[in-house]
Amino acid sequence: MTTTQAAPLHMGKAAVRALGILALATGALESVVTPTLPLLRRELQMSHAEGALLSIVLLVTGALLTPVAGKLGDRYGGKQVLVRLMAVVCAGGLVSALAPNLPVLLLGQILQGAMVGALPLSFILVREHLPEGESKVAIGVVSGLFVGGTVAGTLSAGPVAEGLSRHWMFALPTLAVIGATVLVNRLMPHDPPRRSDGAGIDWPGLGLLSGTLVTLMLVLALAPDLAARPLMLAVLLAVLAAFATGWTAVERRAAAPMVDLRMLGCPEVWKSCVLTFMICVGTSVAVYLVPALFALSADAYGFGASATRIGLFLLPGAVAASLAGPLSGFGVRRFGSRAVVTAGVFIMAVGLLGLAAVHTEAWHLVVGKALIALANGLCVTAMVTSTATSVDRGDTGIATGLVLVTRVIGFAVGVQFSGAILTAGTPAGSDLPAESAFVAGFVLAGAVTVLSLLVVRTLSKGARI
């Protein structure tokens, strides 16, 4: 292997702002499908199975491409790969905006999935051009703006789709992504390739990872119906086990694996992955259940809120999520990562268990959701920051990519788990889930969050700068 290292160029504040704007725009584009899925199902005449496929296809492709993008960024330079990746995302956004039917929209979402790889590439650039103390804060800012973008997309997608059309809810954030990509290309210093080992893409590993993730998402999406069809469940689980086993074997033997599983041998990396998964499961349960509670009829135990009112109710959570990233970056810098994660886990447990206990007033849900959004941002940003700064600079993309893939999988598991809980809690012949189903979902998510403290206790305190 030949490694080249040029003298680093300092990244200016304008370049950091450009990365932040890009994170905000991609976060918004990522999140527009979930709150508008009923509208999309109605306009495109989709079945529930097709709707489930639409809701997870971006996650599948994103989880697949994240480690690929991270490794290519480590090998060839973050800016070069980031700009090309965002060109694919912009093409996907425009395809989604112009889609006349479901197959074309699915193609657009597949292309948009490349956006998930933007974060680890941003972290590569930040670490390449900033001192360690400043890089921690910058990573926190970028991560926080991405989270804020996802919430902003969730809030605005419904009103835009209803006031204009479903086409504009994809077009507007796509235009923002295009503008932000141009800014990054102009303002970001070039980072030369730092790895040149002559190895090509690990296509066998990539194919087996694709099969693993696709099968996993199918199991999660079809879980509520598979209980009545145990044979199909057994077949899917067997296929999932075969893909996962084959992928692990191939990656262990590959000379240049796309996902270096040896990285999981680093305690900071595997602990960050486990914690990120558990935290994102708890967060996604609230993301799914709280809007559902708002939307339920006021004649039952809900609030009968419209899409616009739900967006207003979720606004405090959006603000909290946007602030959590920078706060986490400063907290890690001042107190260490373990202290920040501990505080975040405690806040999230209070929010989830509090929602299980009291949810009869709208402000109960508003406060609980805001606490959970704040806690998620604190924990995930601290985990990513800790991981990014605990490995060699050349491994930043690979390590943070593993954590971000775990984030996607944890979110998907939590959402599908929530849907299964409500399905199981809905009496035959009724469309109204029992209130106990919501309580059970919040309690179980709170329990998972509390259990994560067992892993938090084993974390190192992290460097204070």
Query: Which pLDDT band, with edges at 50, 70 and 90, does 4 fall under?
Result: very low
Are 184 and 22 in contact by the 8 Å Cβ rule? The answer is: yes
pLDDT confidence band for 388 (50 / 70 / 90): low
pTM value > 0.85: no
| Cα-to-chain-centroid distance, residue 2 | 34
Domain ranges in the chain with CATH number 1.20.1250.20: 7-193, 260-465
Backbone angles phi, psi at 433, to 5 degrees: -65, 150
Mean pLDDT value of segment 261-284? 80
* pLDDT value for 7: 44
Count of alpha carbons within 13 angstroms of residue 66, beta-carbon side: 24
Q: Which two tokens stand for residue 377?
A: 């941002």
pLDDT for residue 199 is more than 60: no
In order of 89, 116, 178, 230, 460, the CA distances from 174 in angstroms are 8, 14, 6, 42, 40
| Pairwise CA distance, residues 59 & 42, whole Å | 22
279 in Cβ contact with 379 (< 8 Å): yes
Helix (H, G, I), strand (E, B), or coil: what is residue 1?
A: coil
For the ranges 127-141, 149-163, 394-408, the one whose mean pLDDT is highest: 149-163
pLDDT band at 371; cut points 50, 70, 90: very high
Task: Give the model confidence (pLDDT) of 445-455 as tens digits.
Answer: 999 999 988 88
Above 90 in pLDDT, residue 353? Answer: yes
Beta-bridge mates of residue 196: 2
CB under 8 Å, gap of 24 or more: what pairs does 235-244 form? 239/211, 239/215, 240/212, 240/215, 240/216, 243/208, 243/211, 243/212, 243/215, 244/212
107: tokens are: 């193609």
Measured CA to CA, the distance from residue 22 to residue 52 in angstroms comes to 28
Give the pLDDT mean for 375-398.
73
Q: What is the pLDDT of residue 337?
A: 78
- Report which DSSP code applies to 2: B
Q: Please determine, looking at this structure, whether the domain spanning 260-465 carries the CATH number 1.20.1250.20.
A: yes
Average pLDDT, the chain: 78
- Asked if 360 and 300 count as a contact pair (C-beta separation under 8 A), the reply is no
Tokens for 406, please give them. 């775990």
For residues 263 and 269, the answer to whether their CB atoms sit within 8 Å is yes
Q: Does residue 183 carry a pLDDT above 80?
A: yes
Angle at which helices 203-226 and 396-424 cross, to 10°:
20
Res 49: pLDDT: 53
Contact 373, 298 (CB under 8 A): no
Residue with tokens 């598979």: 226
Per-residue confidence (pLDDT) for residue 439, from 0 to 100: 92
Whole-number pLDDT of residue 273: 82
Of residues 20 and 222, which shows the higher confidence score?
Answer: 20
* Inter-residue contact 327 to 379 (CB < 8 Å): no
Nearest one of 67, 74, 66, 38 to 54, comparing CA atoms: 38
Cβ(365)–Cβ(310) under 8 Å?
no
* DSSP letter, residue 383: H
Buried residues in 23-43 as b, exposed as e (16+ CB within 10 A) = bbbbbbbbbbbbbbeebbbee
Angle (deg, nearest 10), helices 102-112 and 48-76: 30
Interatomic CA distance for residues 17 and 31, integer angstroms = 21
Residue 136 Cα distances to 44, 124, 326, 330, 400, angstroms: 44, 12, 9, 8, 13
% residues pLDDT > 70 (the chain): 79
Q: State phi, psi for 389 to the nearest 5 degrees.
A: -100, 5
DSSP line for 229-253: -HHHHHHHHHHHHHHHHHHHHHHHH
Fold type of domain 7-193: Growth Hormone; Chain: A; (1.20.1250)
Residue 432: left (phi > 0), alpha (psi -120 to 50), or beta?
beta
Distance CA 402, CA 75 (A): 16
